[in-house]
Amino acid sequence: MNIGRKLAYAGMVSIWALSASAYAQQSDADIAKAVEDGSKKAEEMTQKAATAPVIGTYGFDADGMDTSTKPGDNFFRYANGTWLDKTEIPADKSNYGMFTVLADLSNDRVREVLEKERNIETSKSGAVYESYLNEAHVEALGMEPVAPWLNRIRAVQNKIALQQLIPVAARNGVGSIFGGYVGQDDKDPESYIFNIYQSGTGLPDRDMYLVDNEKFAEIRAAYKAYLAQMLDLAGETNSEARANAIFAFEKSVADVQWTREDSSDSTKTYNKMSVAELDDMAWGMDMAAIMKGSSPKIDHVIVAQPSAIKGIAMLFTKADLGVLKDQMIVSSLRSFADVLPDKVADRNFAFYGTKLSGTPEREVRWKRAVGFTEGVVGEDVGKSYAERFFPAETKAAMKALVDNVIAAMGRRIDGLSWMQPQTKAKAQQKLANFTTKIGYPDQWRDYSALEVKRDDLFGNMIRSNNFDYDDNMAKLGSPIRRWEWGMLPQTVNAYANFSMNEIVFPAAILQAPFFDPKADAAVNYGGIGAVIGHEISHHFDDQGAKYDEKGRLSDWWTPSDVKAFEAAGKKLVAQYDAYEIFPGAFVKGEFTLGENIGDLAGLTVAYDAYRASLGGKEAPVIDGMTGDQRFFLSWAQVWRRKYRDAELQRRLITDSHSPSEQRTWVVRNLDKWYDAFNPEKDDKLYLDPKDRVRIW
């Protein structure tokens, strides 16, 4: 059982991965110089931003364009083609673009903070960081730290004892055949409740077990080899046969799991029941005992995929005990790989980093140390980050921009021809009740009860996982934590949370090219303005629209509204279904619908806000570009990104966002883009006005 967090994250999540061996060759002087270089880079950007845009003459990298490409044929390449041709994906990354550029900057800044904290004896973040950097100590301990836990799994004599171990494993951060977490009750958002969802597979998607094609067959073979190698590393024998048995069990689990499309449906996944009803449904497992072991406060649960949980429970009763134990052993090593010797971490990365995402090398150790420290005491680090790198004037400027985009969304709602007046009134009420969080939390997380040690990396992970688990369970019966954030200030991302009716923008994304107070207004509205619009519109997308002004899952649209909205959504699904990324591999329009609506609506609303900001005047021409052209070019620039093939193939299956190039192409639905760039009817992106999707 995994503890998760139910937030509707939007935007691209940066993926980081570099070589572990590089750190071993670094002296203290090398480390100090690297920190100094990172600090200088950040300082240079800060100094330039004080007088001029960080990027180009008006906030856009015109040198990265490919003006030999017609904007109507491929607007992504027109805006980014030279950058794409000249840019190599770093060896530690599966993809590279504007999100990763800012993530690297954030890493440099956090490292600077942690190198100072490292020298403060009482600093928890410094202690955690130091424990990870001490590679020699980790290697010297070998498998000793994890051995007691693995022996505890081995000692299990029957399935009753194994079920008793499931909540213990969850508290330690080890997944099992289903996952769970405490979150807001979607139909009673003033209360917390325990949520259960399907799990029990090591591959990222059920299709990788069930669909017969050459690519998946290759992944399955590599995964079986990985399972055997992990069993070998755990000290087990007959690993190949046991790995095949684990795979066979997981394939049967995949067969009863729900698809990602169904699992993303807020209505289908809301299935509230008592623990007794859960126990009856999941016949063959003592779910009442497992829930009690998780927390004695659990009396009701929300089951995301009832038929899958029922099916998994049945499979549990039929499975060989040894196979279930072996699966938990492998799951444990997977969960703990990053704090174990490199022989484990390298093998884990070889499959999940290289095979599945195409990344050649792991991150250098200091970057992994930064990531680990953020996972343990992230808000302690975030507080220092926000104090040093997020000025008050940026927060104020962002707040004004958010208010402008929200106002534009309000005007859009008023002007809709397909929405009924009573629904418009409720939509406006929902918009008026929005909470906007910018930069960093008003209240920071308290880590005083968390014990960390400078010489106990594995122990720090276990104690952190225990701390997070207990903190999550403590929400049951407690007031809603409206101050709580789902991301750190130093995270380059943004999200919408339906149950809180909030939009959240961490400090790290509020930088060029997304947001630069010295940049042209068109650039800011086309960048962060469209991100703001995206997050706002998530509350009105195919799932967010199911939540009312109080964040409650409810039916507040009229049937005619729903019919009109779904019809427009189907047109957008068809548009994205037609994008072939690899031979025979297409974007999944249904799976990515919410994010595609977010992009379409976000850009539409941001454009309205931009034009309103001009006060009825026309923007000046800068470097030969009109204001409207600069707006759309900024949108294309923030999605500037290159993928490794394996990573892009994986994302087509697992990522609810369309690839960056196709996200940029959403402009083909906006009349104002046609006015700005005059594409011709035979251009590849051109759509006849009747075929352009218009929702908001």
pLDDT at 7: 33
On whether the CB atoms of residues 608 and 536 are closer than 8 A, the answer is no
- The band of 19, judged by pLDDT with boundaries at 50, 70 and 90, is very low
- The band of 51, judged by pLDDT with boundaries at 50, 70 and 90, is confident
DSSP notation for 23-44: HHT--HHHHHHHHHHHHHHHHH
* 342 pLDDT above the threshold of 90: yes
What is the arithmetic mean of pLDDT over 18-36? 37
Backbone phi and psi for residue 512, each to the nearest 5 degrees, phi listed first: -60, 140
14, 304, 337, 576 from 8: Cα distances, Å: 16, 15, 28, 21
For the segment 110-140, what is each residue's pLDDT rounded down to a tens digit? 999 999 999 999 999 999 999 999 999 999 9
* 635 pLDDT above the threshold of 70: yes
Question: What residues pair up with 439 in beta bridges, in sequence order?
Answer: 506
On whether the CB atoms of residues 208 and 220 are closer than 8 A, the answer is yes
Q: Which residues contact 139 (CB under 8 A, 6 or more apart)?
A: 341, 342
Euclidean distance between the first and the last CA atom of the chain, given in angstroms as a whole number: 40
Task: Extract the tokens encoding 328.
Answer: 């938990």
Q: Which run of H or of E encompasses 436?
A: strand 435-439
Query: Cα angle at 48 between 10 and 393, to 5 degrees?
Result: 55
Nearest Cα neighbor of 676 from 645, 646, 637, 631 is 631
For the segment 397-414, what is each residue's pLDDT rounded down to a tens digit? 999 999 999 999 999 999
Q: How far apart are CA 71 and CA 686, in angstroms?
A: 10
* 48 pLDDT above the threshold of 80: no
Backbone phi and psi for residue 78, each to the nearest 5 degrees, phi listed first: -55, -45
Classify domain 146-339 at the CATH class level: mainly alpha
Q: Classify burial at 333, counting beta carbons within 10 Å of its beta carbon; exposed 0-12, middle 13-18, buried 19 or more.
A: buried
Q: What percent of the chain has pLDDT over 90?
A: 92
For the segment 273-331, what is each residue's pLDDT rounded down to a tens digit? 999 999 999 998 999 999 999 999 999 999 999 999 999 999 999 999 999 999 999 99
- The band of 6, judged by pLDDT with boundaries at 50, 70 and 90, is very low
Q: How far apart are CA 551 and CA 186, in angstroms?
A: 7
Q: List for the chain the helix, strand, coil content (%; round to 5).
A: 55, 10, 35
CA 134 distance to own-chain centroid: 29
Q: Which run of H or of E encompasses 181?
A: strand 178-185
Cis amide bond preceding 513, omega within 30? yes
> Given phi > 0 = left and psi -120 to 50 = alpha, else beta, which region is 284?
left
* 476 pLDDT above the threshold of 90: yes
- The band of 31, judged by pLDDT with boundaries at 50, 70 and 90, is very low
Q: How far apart are CA 369 and CA 385, in angstroms?
A: 16
CA 594 distance to own-chain centroid: 14
On whether the CB atoms of residues 409 and 428 are closer than 8 A, the answer is no
* 685 pLDDT above the threshold of 60: yes
Q: How far apart are CA 496 and CA 9, in angstroms?
A: 6
Task: Extract the tokens encoding 179.
Answer: 């996952």
Query: Which of 27-31, 229-233, 497-501, 555-559 has the least mean pLDDT?
Result: 27-31
On whether the CB atoms of residues 513 and 637 are closer than 8 A, the answer is yes
pLDDT at 132: 98
For the segment 576-623, what is each residue's pLDDT rounded down to a tens digit? 999 999 999 999 999 999 999 999 999 999 999 999 999 999 999 999
* 9 pLDDT above the threshold of 50: no
* 18 pLDDT above the threshold of 70: no
Domain locations in the chain as residue ranges? 146-339
- The band of 22, judged by pLDDT with boundaries at 50, 70 and 90, is very low
DSSP 666: G
145, 366, 680 from 139: Cα distances, Å: 11, 16, 62
Instruction: Report the chain's mean pLDDT, rounded to a whole number.
Output: 93
For the segment 510-544, what is each residue's pLDDT rounded down to a tens digit? 999 999 999 999 999 999 999 999 999 999 988 99
Length reported for the chain = 696
Q: Which residues contact 639 (CB under 8 A, 6 or more apart)?
A: 12, 76, 97, 98, 660, 661, 663, 664
- Number of other CB atoms surrounding residue 666 within 10 Å: 27
**Do the strands 178-185 and 188-198 form a parallel or antiparallel pair, or are they unpaired?**
antiparallel
pLDDT at 50: 57
Task: Extract the tokens encoding 562.
Answer: 């729903």
